[in-house]
């Protein structure tokens, strides 16, 4: 087999090797059934067991309280940009949106089609270099929720403290899902695409307060209704069987590592290694974001000039450190170091950054 590289892709991204290998072993014949899991009925005993176990694992690993439903929906995080306001703003109340960058803007633009929205905080004036403090978020009267993006994947910022407002939070957690415990009492709904911390692409994990799912707008297409999805246990239509199966494996891996607390500790340590390489570089590497909002999942950094940046990316590739180019909208470099990124990958990157700086003076 060819050698696996250190893959810093922002998503889809690296998954635990043991999970991939297990999936490979089981792929052609699942548990003596004579067929692959992706060839069998989603209502048969094998898949039902996989489905139920995945839901139970979401609950236990993320400590989801009983008042919430766990849903596996297709359409990724992007469909949730529309589904949230369709379901929750049907009664004429408003959705407040924290504009923290590219993904927040995507959520807000879709919401405007389905309800009244407003900007509860605007990061444009600081060039999206930080998240707001709690006191900076302004909640208008008659708000149904305030929507936040817990981690802006492109800009490389995150909420390091969860805001506590007088209305419930709705959060896009795509790029830091299950990377730390969350205060469930402040949330009505959290969602995210699976393809960063949780498994392959092809679905969103939605965790919604049961009362919220039942009070939703009933005047929309069936697939789009949280109440129907919840009542049918995400089996209203054929669910994304392969992503659900892989999610279960990733969650078992996470559990074996020590759960979300362990993920949080690892993320702090791993991100710390790269931020240290930046901070101790006498300005050779730059970080465009405020220290208090630094993401521990997507570390964005710059080099002294474009020529050095190009050389850096080429040599990193040759050293087996792949996908470090920043998003085309912001440039620079970005190391995505999700839960499954092994420590060795991050050490290798930090060492490479130090060696590159020594070998390529400004």
**Part in contact with ligand PLP (CB under 6 A); list of ranges 60-68, 73-81, 227-235, 333-341:** 73-81
Please give the C-alpha separations between residue 300 and each of 310, 313, 349, in angstroms, as whole numbers: 15, 14, 13
Q: Is 196 a catalytic site residue?
A: yes
CB of 361 to ligand PLP, least distance (A): 35
d(CA 329, CA 99): 16
Does 174 help bind ligand PLP (rule: CB under 6 A)? Answer: yes
Does 123 help bind ligand PLP (rule: CB under 6 A)? Answer: no
149 or 217, CB closer to ligand PLP?
149
Strand, coil or helix: 58: helix
Q: 316, 360 in Cβ contact below 8 A? A: no
Q: Is 325 a catalytic site residue?
A: no
**Part in contact with ligand PLP (CB under 6 A); list of ranges 27-35, 72-80, 163-171, 254-262:** 72-80
Q: Which of 69, 94, 196, 227 is catalytic?
A: 196
Strand, coil or helix: 68: strand
Neighbours of 64 (CB within 10 A): 17
143 or 175, CB closer to ligand PLP?
175
Q: Is 103 a catalytic site residue?
A: yes
Phi-psi region of 172 (alpha: psi -120 to 50; beta: other; left: phi over 0): beta
Neighbours of 222 (CB within 10 A): 12
CB of 161 to ligand PLP, least distance (A): 18
**Residue 235 parent element (H or E):** none
d(CA 344, CA 320): 12
**Part in contact with ligand PLP (CB under 6 A); list of ranges 114-122, 167-175, 223-231, 306-314:** 167-175
Does 76 help bind ligand PLP (rule: CB under 6 A)? Answer: yes
Residues in region 10-29 near ligand PLP by CB under 6 A: 11
d(CA 262, CA 17): 18
Residues in region 195-224 near ligand PLP by CB under 6 A: none
Footprint on this chain of ligand PLP (rule: CB under 6 A): 11, 76-78, 103, 149, 153, 172, 174-175, 193
**Annotated catalytic sites, by residue?**
103, 172, 196
């Amino acid at each position: 087999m060819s050698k696996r590289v250190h893959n810093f892709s922002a998503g889809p991204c690296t998954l635990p090797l043991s999970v991939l290998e297990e999936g490979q072993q089981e792929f052609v014949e699942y548990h003596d059934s004579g067929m692959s899991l992706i060839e069998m009925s989603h209502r048969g005993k094998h898949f039902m067991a996989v489905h139920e176990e995945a839901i139970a694992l979401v609950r236990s690993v993320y400590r989801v309280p009983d008042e919430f439903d766990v849903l596996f929906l297709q359409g990724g995080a992007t469909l949730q940009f529309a589904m949230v306001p369709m379901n929750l703003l049907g009664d004429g109340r408003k959705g407040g949106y924290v504009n923290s960058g590219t993904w927040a803007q995507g959520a807000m633009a879709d919401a405007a089609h389905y309800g009244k929205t407003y900007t509860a905080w605007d990061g444009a004036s600081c060039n999206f270099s930080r998240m707001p403090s709690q006191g900076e978020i302004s909640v208008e009267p008659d708000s149904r929720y305030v929507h936040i993006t817990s981690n802006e994947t492109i800009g490389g910022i995150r909420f390091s403290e969860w805001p506590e407002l007088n209305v419930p939070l709705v959060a896009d957690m795509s790029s830091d899902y299950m990377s730390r415990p969350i205060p469930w009492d402040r949330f009505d709904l959290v969602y995210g695409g699976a393809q960063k911390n949780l498994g392959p692409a092809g679905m969103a994990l939605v965790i919604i307060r049961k009362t919220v799912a039942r009070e939703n707008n009933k005047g929309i297409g069936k697939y789009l209704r949280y109440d129907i999805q919840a009542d049918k246990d995400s089996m209203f239509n054929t669910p994304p069987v392969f992503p659900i199966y892989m999610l279960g494996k990733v969650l078992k891996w996470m559990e074996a590592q020590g759960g979300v607390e362990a993920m949080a500790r690892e993320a702090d340590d791993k991100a710390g290694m790269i931020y240290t390489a930046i901070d101790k570089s006498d300005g050779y590497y730059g970080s465009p974001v405020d220290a208090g909002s630094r993401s521990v999942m997507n570390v964005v950094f710059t080099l002294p000039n474009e020529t050095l940046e190009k050389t850096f990316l080429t040599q990193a590739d040759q050293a087996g450190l792949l996908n470090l180019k920043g998003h085309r909208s912001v440039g620079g470099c970005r190391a995505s170091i999700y839960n499954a990124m092994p420590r060795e990958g991050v050490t290798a990157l930090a060492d490479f950054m130090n060696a590159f700086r020594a070998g390529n003076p400004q």
